[in-house]
Structure 1
């Protein structure tokens, strides 16, 4: 029997408190009826004896201590699901906001998900092509992986997210079983409109499920948004055998909402005021990515977070790095050079890419090209550091070649623009042409048979219009040393 309680004991921020309650469970849904007839919803977040705290999704404004009726439903927070959610837009509480009416309900699921037996997990294989060279070649996104993007204030992470949604596809199949769940937390109205308009203009809205939580909406809704999004993703992946890419932006906004909520509950703060359970809370989101034996589908995650003051040791990126399998770091220096996407190559990595690329997945030479590009670009940074001390004119011929390689690499490989969608073979061919700018003897991470097949200095000179005679002479001088 569901009891209804009249009146409240206390109101504190987004929380209301009731006393003398019976048979109430943690995470239980609550219907809150105001004196003006309005109904709001909340969930039980704290139980101390017969006193409970209820988190109100829509905020506590206009709620009275005396005339408020609270009814406990006996169920956790659930989301109504069916395959009709594809192409729909929801708010942070999982309710449709696209004017197309309610979703026909196939089933309802707890937004906190179900415990997943680690033994049932399948090791992630194969890759998801984003059409972005710096990601596909150097930090490959593997199906079932969680690969975050570390950005900063004012960086083009929203544009990068849109480009990934527009271009992403699985390597095999015709794409009918691939979709994207996109969740934006704490975004402004113009950013939300930008996401909606971009997806509609690109013609990809039919394969996107969008969740939008605006910055002027209650913070409590922000803490639920990623869980609604992941519930939708798990339903599509494990019920309808779809490969789902989940993009969550901005995780930092979620964590700040969690910090504010924790403070309102009077919890002892941890590092930089965040709750001590921030690690386990983030893990409860990130660990919902993966592949299980009993399903043909998969859930892949790209969480996007902004690092306050570009500090990668900040608690949010720091803890995220512990839980996830690598990171893609956006570089402010590259962004100031108008390079898009400004992916910082050296601090970025994908820990699972070695098992999802190569022969049978991308191309046999992928791993060698990736390793050599990393190594050569690291040499570029060393040469630039030396040039800043002694001047570029005093550098050795090979150091000057590396600096020239670095310019070409950033101009042609990293800077591909917002509209360019490169196939993985085009990306690898471009990588070979860039490596062919360097002397063959400098490519220590590539097998000789691959060099014989793909290396061509003449093709590189023609492709990049290298006409400087001194530069060509420098190459020849190095080869004869």
Structure 2
């Protein structure tokens, strides 16, 4: 095979979990791609994790099960793992290593790219701008996703975060411009993988989707590779083909646990909660591959989904993710218990770049004002509800009781929507107006008077 070294190494010193240690190597570098040939003729593949004084530690992508150290040959490619890139990925379903699971031929491309990616020159980065509309009303209105942004979803086991991720992948658009979705699933059950494929079948048939599915029984190393392949495919679709690409990655906690397992197999000194000390930089190497590049068409927007073990937002994975990304969308167990979908906790959620992608000339002139008023009213409603728990509703003022009604209407009439419902931004903002106008005009101080007049808001003292 072109590109492979002539030398094959057979001095396999040790097999340790997903790792193989080979001795006597020369001229081998980190991240090199490795071809592993078993005595039976079966081929496996790996990546060099570490090289030190003639010893190379190789992570085997298909795992080391069934390998006999005395009957294994390794050849080093002399370069990092590269994959074909281009529009040939669109409409395809593959496993976490990029191998087809849809019955089609291997994915081909006119060019190849290293899965580790190339860092974007900070001087050439363009600030994120213009919205990616997800069709999920509460997100589009209150935490608008912006092209080139990285905005995570924080969830808890048992909440419908996968359903939300699939809905976003199925519905998102970029205002009529060329748009694609790359969906990377990590550590999924087979039932969840089937759910994803079925729900995204239509978008895949339209040639707008790339699907990479790593299941829980796939080799752990594959889980580390999956998001890197997804981002490599997305970068080419964006910066070479001119598409706006949304990369949905779920579940990043499964990814981090795979990283921890490999770190333990390497014998590294663990850091917080046994995760490797380089977890922050590793996550950053993924999340920071989003953005826009000056002089290049398209954009890469990243929506990572992660579950917080025991609902702990200070857990290393959500904690470090929060440092790297530009906001968060938090799902609430309490809201889910009320039967509301999606169970978004609007007051804990934030899109720091929302003002770059919403408002006049981007979405609607009243968008930012309506969002600010909605969140202010919701904060006041939560205070009133806490007060009502202390003194009882009968002791509340009439205005306070209107806020309790607003809180209920916010969840039932504004947030709640069907799991297959594509809600346009105009429909979302109209529903927001209907909910806000249930409050007295005196309580809508964040909305300009001309907007209130246009909506026919009551000017009376009690209205």
Structure 1 residue 132, shift from structure 2 partner = 1.2
Q: Is contact 2:203-2:209 (8 Å) kept?
A: no
Corresponding residue for residue 371 of structure 1: 372
Matches of 1:180 and 1:167 in 2, distance apart?
Answer: 10
Corresponding residue for residue 243 of structure 2: 242
* CA-to-aligned-CA distance 1:136-178 (integer Å, 9 cap, x gap): 010000011001000110100111112112211012x3x4x10
Matches of 2:321 and 2:215 in 1, distance apart?
Answer: 23
Matches of 2:460 and 2:403 in 1, distance apart?
Answer: 15
Secondary structure of 2:50's counterpart equals: strand
Matches of 2:118 and 2:233 in 1, distance apart?
Answer: 13
Secondary structure of 1:346's counterpart equals: coil
Matches of 2:244 and 2:161 in 1, distance apart?
Answer: 23
Matches of 1:456 and 1:387 in 2, distance apart?
Answer: 27
Corresponding residue for residue 41 of structure 1: 45
User: Does the alignment pair 1:119 with 2:123?
Assistant: yes
* TM-score between both structures, scaled by the size of structure 1: 0.93
Matches of 2:264 and 2:386 in 1, distance apart?
Answer: 46
Matches of 1:353 and 1:9 in 2, distance apart?
Answer: 54
Alignment of 1:133-212 (within 5 A): 133-171=137-175, 173=176, 175=177, 177-200=178-201, 206-212=207-213
User: Does the alignment pair 1:31 with 2:40?
Assistant: no
Matches of 2:117 and 2:230 in 1, distance apart?
Answer: 11
Q: Is contact 1:82-1:103 (8 Å) kept?
A: no
Structure 1 residue 31, shift from structure 2 partner = 0.6
Secondary structure of 2:409's counterpart equals: helix
Corresponding residue for residue 88 of structure 1: 92
Secondary structure of 1:184's counterpart equals: strand
Matches of 1:82 and 1:124 in 2, distance apart?
Answer: 24
Structure 1 residue 60, shift from structure 2 partner = 0.5
Q: Is contact 1:2-1:74 (8 Å) kept?
A: no
User: Does the alignment pair 1:2 with 2:6?
Assistant: yes
> Which is further off, 102-111 or 326-335?
102-111
Of the three residues 119, 132, 136, the one matched with 1:132 is 136
How many residue pairs end up in the alignment? 459
User: Does the alignment pair 1:67 with 2:71?
Assistant: yes
* CA-to-aligned-CA distance 1:219-239 (integer Å, 9 cap, x gap): 000001000000000010011
Matches of 1:205 and 1:391 in 2, distance apart?
Answer: 55
Corresponding residue for residue 462 of structure 1: none
Q: Is contact 2:31-2:48 (8 Å) kept?
A: yes
* CA-to-aligned-CA distance 1:407-440 (integer Å, 9 cap, x gap): 1111010111212222111111111111110000
Alignment gaps of 5+ in structure 1: 458-474
Over aligned residue pairs, what C-alpha RMSD do you find? Answer: 1.4
User: Does the alignment pair 1:338 with 2:339?
Assistant: yes
Matches of 1:314 and 1:451 in 2, distance apart?
Answer: 44
Corresponding residue for residue 302 of structure 1: 303
Matches of 1:153 and 1:234 in 2, distance apart?
Answer: 31
Secondary structure of 1:347's counterpart equals: coil
Alignment gaps of 5+ in structure 2: none
Of the three residues 44, 54, 57, the one matched with 2:58 is 54
Secondary structure of 2:268's counterpart equals: coil
Of the three residues 97, 107, 111, the one matched with 1:107 is 111
Structure 1 residue 400, shift from structure 2 partner = 0.4
Corresponding residue for residue 463 of structure 1: none
Alignment of 1:389-468 (within 5 A): 389-456=390-457
> Which is further off, 412-421 or 306-315?
412-421
Matches of 2:119 and 2:46 in 1, distance apart?
Answer: 23
Which ranges of 4 or more aligned residues in structure 1 deviate by more than 4 Å? 201-205
Structure 1 residue 203, shift from structure 2 partner = 6.6
Of the three residues 72, 77, 80, the one matched with 2:81 is 77
Secondary structure of 1:102's counterpart equals: coil
Matches of 1:123 and 1:197 in 2, distance apart?
Answer: 35
